[in-house]
């Protein structure tokens, strides 16, 4: 039923109490149920700024009010997709840890992330995720010498392996992790 005295309509709409009850406790504020006519009357008389000083009203109406606080950066190097760093976190179902376990096992010492295709390219070259740009070039040169037909007396049986090595090196030399 509607909370207004003398009203027999169904109270279908929730409205806060006007007497200030609940302003000193934690949790949601108490509310009352009103019929459509009474909730319209309540909304017409509601003033968000009641009880505020002129300076507080001015501060609340500024175009950038609330946008001055610092936020964390969401970038690939140190942003949103990193594992949690708290030490005492319990994850009995491994719901969070499983997502980051493989990535942390194959993490580079310099912290630069590797995509899944970059990890596959490293596997083609037979390298670990800790290799640097110089090691990448050396391994590429070694595999080209091994698989190139001119070094094997014209034998073209390793042509597919050579193409895979060239494609993997081409991808990795342009990757951000090896810049």
pLDDT in tens, 114-163: 888 888 999 999 988 888 889 999 999 999 999 888 887 888 888 899 99
Residue 168 lies in a domain: yes
- Average pLDDT across the chain, whole number: 80
Q: pTM for the complete prediction?
A: 0.44
**Residue 56 dihedral angles phi and psi, to the nearest 5°:** -65, -40
Residue 172 lies in a domain: yes
Higher pLDDT, residue 65 or 150: 150
Q: Which band of pLDDT confidence, cut at 50, 70 and 90, is reported for residue 112? A: confident
Going by C-alpha positions, the residue among 51, 52, 74 that lies closest to residue 61 is 52
Residue 39 lies in a domain: yes
Residue 127 lies in a domain: yes
Q: Which domain holds residue 156?
A: 111-178
Residue 101 lies in a domain: no
Query: Measured between alpha carbons, how far is 107 from 110 in angstroms, rounded to an integer?
Result: 8
Residue 97 lies in a domain: no
Query: Is the predicted pLDDT of residue 12 greater than 80, yes or no?
Result: yes
Query: Is the predicted pLDDT of residue 83 greater than 60, yes or no?
Result: no
Residue 8 lies in a domain: no
Residue 6 lies in a domain: no
Query: Quick one: angle between helices 116-125 and 133-147, nearest 10?
Result: 50
Number of domains in the chain: 2
**CATH code, 122:** 1.10.287.110
- Cβ 133 vs Cβ 178: under 8 Å: yes
- Residue 154's pLDDT is what? 81
Which of 24, 39, 61 is at the close of a domain? 61
- Cβ 73 vs Cβ 50: under 8 Å: no
- Written as six digits, the tokens of 79 are 């942003």
**Residue 177 dihedral angles phi and psi, to the nearest 5°:** -65, -20
Q: Which band of pLDDT confidence, cut at 50, 70 and 90, is reported for residue 54? A: very high
- Residue 132's pLDDT is what? 87
* Residue located via tokens 């595999």: 143
Q: Is 25 left (phi over 0), alpha (psi -120 to 50) or beta?
A: beta
Give the DSSP per-residue string, 51-79: T--HHHHHHHHSTTTT--S------TTTS
- Written as six digits, the tokens of 29 are 């504020």
Going by C-alpha positions, the residue among 78, 129, 74 that lies closest to residue 102 is 129
């Amino acid at each position: 039923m509607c909370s207004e005295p003398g009203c027999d309509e169904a109270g279908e709409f929730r409205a806060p109490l006007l007497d200030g009850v609940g302003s000193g406790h934690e949790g949601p504020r108490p509310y009352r149920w009103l019929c459509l006519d009474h909730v319209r009357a309540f909304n017409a008389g509601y003033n968000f700024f009641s009880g505020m000083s002129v300076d507080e009203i001015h501060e609340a109406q500024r175009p950038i009010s609330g946008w001055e606080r610092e936020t964390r950066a969401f970038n690939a190097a140190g942003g949103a997709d990193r594992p949690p760093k708290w030490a005492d976190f319990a994850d009995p179902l491994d719901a969070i840890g499983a997502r980051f376990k493989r990535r942390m096992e194959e993490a580079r010492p310099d912290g630069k992330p590797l995509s899944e295709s970059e990890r596959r390219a490293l596997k083609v070259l037979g390298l670990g995720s800790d290799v640097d740009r110089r090691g990448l070039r050396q391994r590429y040169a070694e595999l080209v010498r091994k698989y190139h037909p001119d070094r094997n007396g014209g034998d073209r049986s390793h042509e597919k392996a050579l193409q895979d090595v060239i494609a993997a090196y081409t991808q990795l030399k342009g990757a951000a992790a090896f810049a």
